[in-house]
Amino acid sequence: MEQVIELADLHLTLGAGAARVHVLKGVTLSVARGETVGLVGPSGSGKSTLLMTLAGLERPDAGTVRVGGHDLNALSEDALARFRGSNIGVVFQSFQLIPTMTALENVAVPLELAGRSDPFARARTELEAVGLGDRLAHYPGQLSGGEQQRVALARALAPDPLILAADEPTGNLDSETGAAIADLIFAQQKRRGATLVLVTHDPLLAARCARRVSLRSGRIESDDAR
């Protein structure tokens, strides 16, 4: 099966001086197209950093990151940005919407950046797909947490990315809203056939992924695929 993510012997150290922490210690991981992977592990185990690295938001000190056949280490900062815009959708725990833009504009931004011809029509469709067809002109400050996360999900999915990277997407939400968001994520992933990599502390959410990878102290402790 085609591997869309190929990570080999990743090392990453963060901080400086006494606060220096070796976060990733030789992680090797491959993910196939359309696979759903749950990254789990205790706080500080390196799962969010691993997600950031495979999403092209962090550069490793050593090791290779190939996504969709591209070596991310070889891309310049701007080339990496363009690659992300078209191939990787990211959902954050704290939504990270642009506060001065409406829901519609927030979703349209990656499409506009990628130079798509119909960004607003497409953004509208995406928002309708996550049940926010009536909130198009609302600013983030006027939306509930669950609604903001749905906007963030619509934004991540709008460019039809190869990979959907979600960093504790339900972490800031109550259990009911969180469950609804999780349903949406898996439904959209299934509909589009995207690869999903999801970081979570929630064992139930992790259980919904076809494959679970557990990290501890910067190393892969267990992997269902192995």
Residue 216: how many CB atoms within 10 A of its CB? 15
Residue keyed to tokens 């993510």: 5
Chain positions contacting other proteins, by CB under 8 A: 14, 48-49, 52-53, 55, 57-59, 77-78, 81-82, 84-86, 90, 92, 94, 96-102, 105, 108-110, 112-114, 155, 159
Smallest gap from residue 48 Cβ to other proteins (A):
8
Smallest gap from residue 107 Cβ to other proteins (A):
10
Nearer to other proteins, 36 or 48 (CB): 48
Give the burial class of 155: count Cβ atoms within 10 A of its Cβ; 0-12 exposed, 13-18 middle, 19 or more buried: buried
Distance CA 123, CA 108 (A): 5
Smallest gap from residue 187 Cβ to other proteins (A):
22
Nearer to other proteins, 3 or 96 (CB): 96
Nearer to other proteins, 155 or 212 (CB): 155
Which residue in 90, 85, 97, 199 sits closest to 141, CA to CA? Answer: 97
- Cα torsion angle, 198, 201, 204, 207, sign: positive
Nearer to other proteins, 10 or 180 (CB): 10
Smallest gap from residue 111 Cβ to other proteins (A):
9
Smallest gap from residue 110 Cβ to other proteins (A):
4
Residue type for 26, please? Answer: G
Distance CA 81, CA 13 (A): 22
Q: What is the DSSP string of 33-56?
A: TT-EEEEE-STTSSHHHHHHHHTT
Query: Helix or strand or coil: residue 89?
Result: strand
Smallest gap from residue 1 Cβ to other proteins (A):
28
Nearer to other proteins, 60 or 178 (CB): 60
Nearer to other proteins, 48 or 212 (CB): 48
